[in-house]
Structure 1
Amino acid sequence: MFQQRLKFFRSILYLGDLVLVGLAWFGAYFLRFYLPILPVTKGIPPLGLYSMLLLLMLADFAVVMPLSGLYRRPWAGTGRALWPVLRAALVGVVVAVTLTWFLRPYDFSRLVFLHFFVLLAAGMLVYRPVLRRFWRRAYPENAGERVLIVGSAELAEQVAQNIKKNPVLGLSVVGFLSRDEAKVGRRVAGLRVLGSFAQVAQIVAQRHIQVVIIALPLSAHDDLPLVLEGLSQELVDVRIVPDLYRFMSLGSTVESFEGMPIIGLRGNRLEGWPRVLKRAMDVAGSLLFLTLFSPLMALIALGVKLSSPGPVLYRQRRMGLDGVDFQMLKFRTMRVGAESETGPVWASPDDPRRTRLGAILRRTSLDELPQFFNVLSGEMSLVGPRPERPELIASFRSQIPGYMLRHMVKAGITGWAQINGWRGNTDLNKRIEHDLYYIENWSLWFDIKIILLTPFRGLISPNAY
């Protein structure tokens, strides 16, 4: 019921957005050529030509809009929807303009694309509150199905709060039932405890309950047969929320396998097409950056060779995906054999082991450019948690809860923690918090956002030494 109704709302929102793409495209055509802001100097192109391009626009936005996170919070108000709408419209237009380069020799009007961007963004911002208004009539908040929550502890309270946060469901929580009869009459999360478990059938009949949600702590699961027996003769929709919330971590899922419900307490979002798309971006991005930076890398290699004796590249063992070690590449920034004196330790300000050129390379993060070869070979990704040395991880994993979860994805050249200032010898708890947030909220757009922010917030850092 919950996911179906949310998916139904998202699908209507999505289909309406695609309709708006078509309307905005034709509207942009007529604005540019029949109500022009700037004079038309090359004549009015046939509408059929732009109608054919609409097929490309629809295919473009059909992919871009979901990937940009536009439907992650479909019930968001106009203020919160502003940036996701502008982002989706802008990325879609940029992709469309890029694709039209392959349709030459005809040159499509750039002003049409500009008009289209404005019309589409405005249309989507207006469409959302209008759809919410009609949806509230179909599923009025607190006037739809009447819900009784069996339980009065933390889990039951969380269920009630989640229902309130999703008015799109149109559910009305009537109250709670408690195992402890002393709680009857008290209020939980602003709602009254209506009775005990033994009174479930009576309260369902009296209050005209349509949905019963059983949210019992593990310690009270012995009472489940009593509740289900009381509901055996009642025509109500019964749902059970297992008390596994506090045990769930990254990528928690509920799925059906051969008719058997399976609850995943921990999983990886990067499976199937997301994994393919991320790998495709890694390969394309690493090839692009290696091509762009090859002259600079050649100069750095020459500088390292001339400034101190020893190899140009430094290979260091790091831990990556699934806890598997790999050899991470860097331009050498220390004297040969420097670590034989200190062992594996974090770098420090004014590290005496550095060469003069090495200090500059570290400060600007240019020593990490060879890691694009690690990305190309599949050992790393463009974006992900920064890899750490196995010798240091041995102590971190026992000190910091959830530390090893960061190895559920490939290590990255840049990451969410790095662009937020948590790199080098900084608070490990904060760094892990940001790494886990990235893994939990991964999307292709999130990767692109981190890559775009890296030159401004990730390359040069006071903690890079």
Structure 2
Amino acid sequence: MIRENQRFFNSILIIADMALITLSLILAWYLRFETDILGHGYGVWSFKQYMISLLLILPLYIFLYYSFGLYDPQRTKNFDSEALQIIKGNVLGFLLILTSLYLINILNYSRYLIIIFAILSCGFCIGERYVLRSSLKYIRYKGFNIKYILVVGAGELGEKFAVKIKESKYIGYEIIGFLDDEFEKGHEVQDSTVIGNLDDIEKVIKNNVVDRVIITLSARHRRTIESIVDTLERYGVKAEIIPDYFIYCPAKPYFDMIDDIPVINIRYVPLEKYSNRIVKRIFDIFVALSGILVTSPILIITAILIKLSSPGPVIFKQERVGHNKKHFDMYKFRSMRVQDEREEKYQWSTEEDPRKTRIGSFIRKTNIDELPQFFNILKGDMSLIGPRPERPYFVEKFRDEIPKYMVKHYVRPGMTGWAQVNGWRGDTSIAERIKHDIYYVENWSFLFDVKIFFMTFLNWFDNAY
């Protein structure tokens, strides 16, 4: 029944997508040739000729949407991932249309119209999916379009799964019961009960509607799991396994292969990809050079004021731990009196720090003291966005005290980061800071960097001392 519903839903979805793509082309034609928004257009092609091009555009876009998984079940996926796939499909469609027109040497097809069409089709399809997904979530929350789940294993892992299902009613899963040899029949697990032993699986499948079986047994029961999977496949029931080591898996599991052996990468790091590192480095260099140029008057004035306010160097160099645990000298404008280097290594700055100079309090409050780090970025020691680097003494200290503290060193440290724009800087919780740093490491994207970049300006004067 669920499979039939999915096929019916996909048919409706394809029809809706085709209707919106057609509407997008019609509106693009109207905006280009019937309005003066982009200047009055005099098209060589008629409206009918543009509509005939749908014979190629519609199959192309439906094929692309299918290729990007937009007709796969999205029940357990978040909407952001679906929207991203729609954008990818539409961008590729736009590029293929332009390439085709160039190769076929069709010069009279309006390029403005194609651009408008690309924007409209992308926006309409994202809006359509949002409305549909929201509607389906509401329907499932009300108890319709349900998938019936049998859980094999009523232990800690099975109970954790049940808790998640209970908290996420919008997914539309209903647990019909648990099978387990270690608990008596009738034993309660959340809102469900143990309905039999592992040997009862064939009988349960025959006498109940079961859309999916979730296996939560430990890996030590390998032979039992193999037997259960064989039984399920014989009856055409889909089986899925939640490994008992799932707590070690990242938010976005990455699998590698060594010959025919799958290897799970425990920590997914997007910046390990060379192409991502190149994009980030280009962005860093551009912003650093622009930053030095724009702030050069501030840099010069600050240097003069520091030199006049107290004896000592203008630039304060402090050893920090960076990418791959390599040590480097991080630059700052000196905001404190010159002190013994051995004492400085072990002291943490505070809001009312007595070591600060008169000009030091101001440049720390305004974050001007951080501006010399643009030169660290140009050198490659740092990035514009990333986890803030720490001194070697504190790295050694926090490594043993804060779980996963060293994960932050998988990427270049930054002038600002996800933790800082969320208020976790200075004398605040190290655990919360690392939590945000790890999220950044595992979820990096260029758009995420841009978001943090603009959030930094909004928070420029907050939490600084």
Q: TM-score, normalised by structure 1?
A: 0.71
Q: How many residues align?
A: 405
- Aligned ranges 1:272-421 → 2 under 5 Å: 272=273, 273-337=275-339, 339=341, 343-421=345-423
2:14 and 2:447 mapped to 1: Cα distance? Answer: 18
Letter in 1 for 2:424: W
Instruction: Tell me how far 1:329 sits from its aligned partner.
Output: 1.1
Q: Quickly say closer, same or farther: Cα 1:365–1:113, change in 2 above 3 A.
A: farther
Runs of at least 5 residues in structure 1 that lack an aligned partner in the other structure: 1-5, 52-69, 93-107
Q: Assess if the C-alpha contact under 8 Å between 1:141 and 1:167 holds in 2.
A: no
Aligned residue number for residue 228 of structure 1: 226
Q: Assess if the C-alpha contact under 8 Å between 2:33 and 2:43 holds in 1.
A: no
1:207 and 1:296 mapped to 2: Cα distance? Answer: 74
**Matched position secondary structure for 1:422:** coil
1:13 and 1:303 mapped to 2: Cα distance? Answer: 65
Instruction: Tell me how far 1:411 sits from its aligned partner.
Output: 1.0
1:15 and 1:346 mapped to 2: Cα distance? Answer: 62
Q: Assess if the C-alpha contact under 8 Å between 1:322 and 1:409 holds in 2.
A: yes
Instruction: Specify which of 433, 436, 444 is matched with residue 435 of structure 2.
Output: 433
Q: Quickly say closer, same or farther: Cα 1:240–1:118, change in 2 above 3 A.
A: closer
Instruction: Tell me how far 1:418 sits from its aligned partner.
Output: 1.1
* Cα deviations by residue, 1:205-254 (Å, 9 ceiling, x for unpaired): 33365643321146xx34x4235335545514443321012333576434
Instruction: Specify which of 419, 434, 447 is matched with residue 445 of structure 1.
Output: 447
Q: Quickly say closer, same or farther: Cα 1:411–1:348, change in 2 above 3 A.
A: same
1:404 and 1:312 mapped to 2: Cα distance? Answer: 32
Aligned residue number for residue 27 of structure 1: 27
2:130 and 2:196 mapped to 1: Cα distance? Answer: 40
Instruction: Tell me how far 1:389 sits from its aligned partner.
Output: 0.7
**Matched position secondary structure for 2:271:** coil
* Cα deviations by residue, 1:274-327 (Å, 9 ceiling, x for unpaired): 333222322222222222222322322233334333332221101112222111
Instruction: Tell me how far 1:367 sits from its aligned partner.
Output: 0.9
**Matched position secondary structure for 1:148:** strand
Aligned residue number for residue 44 of structure 1: 41
Q: Assess if the C-alpha contact under 8 Å between 1:20 and 1:120 holds in 2.
A: no
1:15 and 1:370 mapped to 2: Cα distance? Answer: 57
Aligned residue number for residue 146 of structure 2: 142
Q: Quickly say closer, same or farther: Cα 1:444–1:353, change in 2 above 3 A.
A: same
Q: Assess if the C-alpha contact under 8 Å between 1:31 and 1:115 holds in 2.
A: no
Runs of at least 5 residues in structure 2 that lack an aligned partner in the other structure: 1-5, 51-69, 92-109
- Aligned ranges 1:163-242 → 2 under 5 Å: 173-182=175-184, 184-207=185-208, 209=210, 211-217=212-218, 221-222=220-221, 224-229=222-227, 232=230, 235-236=234-235, 237-242=238-243
Deviates more, 1:260-269 or 1:204-213: 204-213
Q: Quickly say closer, same or farther: Cα 1:274–1:163, change in 2 above 3 A.
A: farther
Percentage of pairs with the same residue? 34
Aligned residue number for residue 248 of structure 2: 247
Letter in 1 for 2:196: G
Letter in 2 for 1:141: N
Q: Quickly say closer, same or farther: Cα 1:159–1:42, change in 2 above 3 A.
A: closer
Q: Assess if the C-alpha contact under 8 Å between 2:217 and 2:225 holds in 1.
A: no
Q: Quickly say closer, same or farther: Cα 1:47–1:301, change in 2 above 3 A.
A: farther
After superposition, the CA RMSD in angstroms is 4.7
- Aligned ranges 1:54-93 → 2 under 5 Å: none
